[in-house]
Amino acid sequence: MNQTYVHGYSERENQRLQDQASTLSELLHVDSLFPAGSHILEAGCGVGSQTLTLARQNPQASFTSIDISTSSLEQARQKLEAAGCRNVQFQQADIFNLPFKPGIFDHVFVCFVLEHLRAPGEALASLKKVLKPGGTITVIEGDHGSAYFHPDCAEAHLAIQCQIKLQADAGGNALIGRELYPLLRKSGFTDIRVSPRMVYVDASKPGLVDGFIRKTFTAMIEGVRERALQTDLVDAAAFEKGIRGLYRTADPDGTFCYTFFKAIAIK
């Protein structure tokens, strides 16, 4: 995973994850509320972008936030410490080999992680083991097939396809949002509720124009430029035109739509 994680662990990617989390916080987390006293496992916390929102919104709950990357964990730890949050414990751990006793967590939270895993179903099964009977899981993922925009641009779609293909080549799935229901069902979860969360952006929402179109989505597609060109998926001129096409949607007459999927299910 460390070698193939399509976005990498660069400073720029960490900033992108932070921008993404701040921009989408309300849309994704308005209902990320856990009862006082509950113990939540956050799997794949990265640099702590979601952790910060969760911990602040749920001061009476306690979180164990794990990641496979020690450097990301260190950044997450510093971020939460700077924010004065004391209800999170960080721990290096692999989702596929969790160092916890069965059934000890009230809730499991996973955001933007399954899309990078070769075996998301196995990950869910592993997480299910440490969840107590009747406990709940929240999974949030995007789906790059849900991106459409004005003005439309064939090369922008091609650039997005490069990202989807590279992520698939690395064993992930950038179209996983639409699969959350069947994945959770196959893993034996019940009462599965999937709620699509559409981000719709036009110039009347300048925060989203900058935070989502430019700094989250287009920054992510730009992030695969080198590898897209190396693998001959696209030529440089078409890729650059595609990126310009995506930025163009941030102009005053542009619009952009993207859908995230948030699933909640019970063990």
Ligand X SMILES: C[S@@+](CC[C@H](N)C(=O)[O-])C[C@H]1O[C@@H](n2cnc3c(N)ncnc32)[C@H](O)[C@@H]1O
67 counts as binding ligand X under rule CB under 6 A: yes
Q: What's the CA gap between 145 and 160, in Å, rounded?
A: 9
CB of 17 to ligand X, least distance (A): 4
Which are the contacts of 213, defined by CB distance < 8 A and separation ≥ 6? 201, 246, 247, 249, 250, 254, 256
Which residue of this chain has its Cβ atom nearest to ligand X in the complex?
46
Q: 159 by DSSP, 3-state: which? A: helix
Q: Return the H-helix or E-strand segment holding 79.
A: helix 70-82
Q: Return the H-helix or E-strand segment holding 105.
A: strand 105-111
Of 14, 23, 32, 50, the one binding ligand X (CB under 6 A) is 50
What is the distance between the terminal CA atoms of the chain, rounded to a whole angstrom?
27
Closest by alpha carbon to 264, among 31, 21, 22, 35?
31
CB of 237 to ligand X, least distance (A): 30
User: How many binding residues for ligand X (CB under 6 A)?
Assistant: 22
111 counts as binding ligand X under rule CB under 6 A: yes
Which are the contacts of 30, defined by CB distance < 8 A and separation ≥ 6? none
CB of 52 to ligand X, least distance (A): 10
Q: Which of residues 14-43 bind ligand X (CB under 6 A)?
A: 17, 21
Q: By rule CB under 6 A, what string of x and - marks binding of each residue 199-228 to ligand X?
A: ------------------------------
Looking at beta carbons only, is 125 or 238 nearer to ligand X?
125
In contact, 89 and 65? CB cutoff 8 Å: yes
Looking at beta carbons only, is 67 or 106 nearer to ligand X?
67
Of 34, 105, 112, 149, the one binding ligand X (CB under 6 A) is 112
75 counts as binding ligand X under rule CB under 6 A: no
Binding stretches for ligand X (CB under 6 A): 1, 5, 7, 17, 21, 44-46, 49-50, 66-69, 72, 94-96, 111-113, 116
